[in-house]
Amino acid sequence: NAGVMQNPRHLVRRRGQEARLRCSPMKGHSHVYWYRQLPEEGLKFMVYLQKENIIDESGMPKERFSAEFPKEGPSILRIQQVVRGDSAAYFCASSPGGRETQYFGPGTRLLVL
């Protein structure tokens, strides 16, 4: 049973470009979460989605960031007009239900030049 998959693993963008991060949950999991980890810090919750629905986006910055989890395909975290402060590791997690253990993907390390 494949774990949570994320791609790309590493992403380099110049300021002002767009970053698209993809997450495929574990088989049988319909709940997806995105977290951001700044260097030397813990993870910070960004958004929680189920198929075609955003359940909680209280941790998402109000501008430039968006997330979706379509009926078919992976969940996408999109960052428009990236700035240097967006450089971080972005982790996706999935769970079979909303109050169950979250399993984390390998992360996407975004570097903004």
The contact set with another protein (CB under 8 A) reads: 31, 33, 35, 41-45, 48, 55-56, 58-59, 91, 93, 98-99, 101-107
Least distance from another protein to the Cβ atom of residue 18, Å: 24
Nearer to another protein, 15 or 44 (CB): 44
How deeply is 21 buried, as exposed, middle or buried, from its count of CB atoms within 10 A (0-12, 13-18, 19+)? buried
In the bound complex, what is the minimum distance in angstroms from residue 16's beta carbon to another protein? 27
Helical ranges in 1-113 per DSSP H: none
What DSSP string describes 66-98?
EEE--SSS-EEEEE-S--GGG-EEEEEEEESST
Q: Which is nearer to another protein, 71 or 101 (CB)?
A: 101
